[in-house]
Amino acid sequence: MSDDSVIVVGAGLAGLTCATSLHEAGIPVTVLEASDGVGGRVRSDRVDGFTLDRGFQVALTAYPEMHRQLDMEALDLQAFDPGALVWRNGKGSVVSDPFRMPRTTLSTALAPIGSPFDKLRIAKLRADLRNIHPARLVGGGSDGGGDGGRDDIATADALRAAGFSDTIIERFFTPLVGGIQLDPDLRDSRRMFDVIFRMLADGDSVVPAAGMQAIPDQLAARLPESSIRFDCEVTAATATAVTTSTGDVIAGSAVVVATEGPAASRLLGLPSVASKAAGCVYFAADERPTDSKMVVLDGTGAGPVLNVAVMSNVAPSYAPPGQHLIAAALPGVCDGDLADLARHQLRDWWGPEVDAWRHVATYRIPHGQPGQTPPFAPKQSIRLTDGRFVCGDHRDTGSIQGAMYSGRRCAAAVAARLG
């Protein structure tokens, strides 16, 4: 490595996007990654023939940065059906977007998730959000911007202010949006809710056939193989050099810290980043509990599992032939015997057959996403006053979109400085 390389600390989506953007602009780059592989929080494992994403994750095809940064066709994306299967009183009720799946209009109208007025309000909310550009929905930040005149308040407060009943908030919005945003109390800014709900209306929820790991793998493949160094933990960083845990000092033309929020705060001395935790339990079964390709939502409000997905229904490549892979997501829950908690709850849904499911793996993710409570300020500065650079979803939005976008705009800032 030469001293004119830009040093990127972290090989998650933000760091890889920053690195590939710099490399393709002709700027040498070296990525230092503390773990043994790329992806950060977006990684997958192979266990007994199953593909296990580290936590229940999906990508949203409406994210514009995915189309900018990735070869979407090469990812072989496998789509969930739009909407959700809300499980309550021993049966599932289909709740979908009638504009995208007209055949679900009747089932959605009859689903016991709220009043007819609640469902009309969903249609109005969908129309309202689709009339506002996503950049204005998220608003805020050091660069200004608006959010379409919508107050920055907690998601739960925004839903109540829009007239939604406690019933539909508990049975539909909490397990759906609370699951996506790891926010079971719906305390996050309504700005993030607005953007996510808009993205769900505009595109599909998908996973690559090879697992979510395929996303960072594709980014990393655009870099020279020698440019990524694994098992290389950085303990200190200046504007032009880093120190590793082994005491090595590595100099470069610029330093970008692209770690997850808490690590970036420690390394750079920035204000702490709040963490939203999550647990995920994977089970294998000979018989699947449902053939639906929708996410199954907890319509009881009991928890702690908010949503379940039969991953092999969506992506058959996630399980060996004749087997089924079931992911149970527990947003906000990391402690305790998660497999036992999930099995106990799902036994109430699907009966004693759940006892025959085999536990494949449990993931505990203390930092699944950065906190995004009001006042929410995305698009934070990526160049610090001392000359160091920082990127990650904690500088924009807690999402694949936010991580990649942050990495790209950080690369542009580094290139402009090196100009």
Would you list the domain boundaries of the chain? 6-43+212-274+376-416, 45-141+151-210+275-370
331: preceding bond cis by omega (within 30 degrees): no
- Alpha-helix residue ranges (DSSP H) falling in 105-237: 105-110, 116-130, 134-138, 155-161, 166-168, 174-180, 190-202, 214-220
* Residues in a beta bridge with 243: 236, 249
Give DSSP secondary structure letters for 30-90.
Answer: EEE-SSSSSBTTS-EEEETTEEEESSS--EETT-HHHHHHS-TTTTTEEEPPSSEEEEETT
How far is Cα 47 from Cα 360, in angstroms, rounded to an integer? 8
CATH top class, domain 45-141+151-210+275-370: alpha beta
Strands 205-208 and 77-79: antiparallel
* Dihedral sign of CA atoms 232, 237, 240, 246 in order: negative
Q: How many CA atoms lie within 13 A of 62 on its CB side?
A: 16
DSSP 351: G
Per-residue confidence in pLDDT tens, the chain, 419 aa: 456 899 999 999 999 999 999 999 999 999 999 999 999 999 999 999 999 999 999 999 999 999 999 999 999 999 999 999 999 988 999 998 887 888 888 888 889 999 999 999 999 999 999 999 888 888 744 333 444 456 899 999 999 999 999 999 999 999 999 999 999 999 999 999 999 999 999 999 999 999 999 999 999 999 998 999 999 999 999 999 999 999 999 999 999 999 999 999 999 999 999 999 999 999 999 999 999 999 999 999 999 999 999 999 999 999 999 999 999 999 999 999 999 999 999 999 999 999 999 999 999 999 999 999 999 988 899 999 999 999 999 999 999 999 999 999 999 999 999 98
3-state helix, strand, coil in the chain (%, to 5): 35, 25, 40
Which of 67, 319, 87 lies closest to 203, judged by CA? Answer: 67
* Residues in a beta bridge with 47: 50
What are the CA-CA distances from residue 32 to residues 1, 8, 55, 219, 235 (Å)? 12, 6, 24, 15, 11
Alpha carbon 362 to its chain centroid, in Å, reads 18
Give the pTM.
Answer: 0.95
In degrees, rounded to 5, the angle at the alpha carbon of residue 326 between the alpha carbons of residues 323 and 329 is 165
How far is Cα 76 from Cα 56, in angstroms, rounded to an integer? 18
At the fourth CATH level, the homologous superfamily of domain 6-43+212-274+376-416 is FAD/NAD(P)-binding domain (3.50.50.60)
* Dihedral sign of CA atoms 58, 200, 198, 176 in order: negative
Q: How many CA atoms lie within 13 A of 124 on its CB side?
A: 10
Which of 52, 3, 55 lies closest to 28, judged by CA? Answer: 3
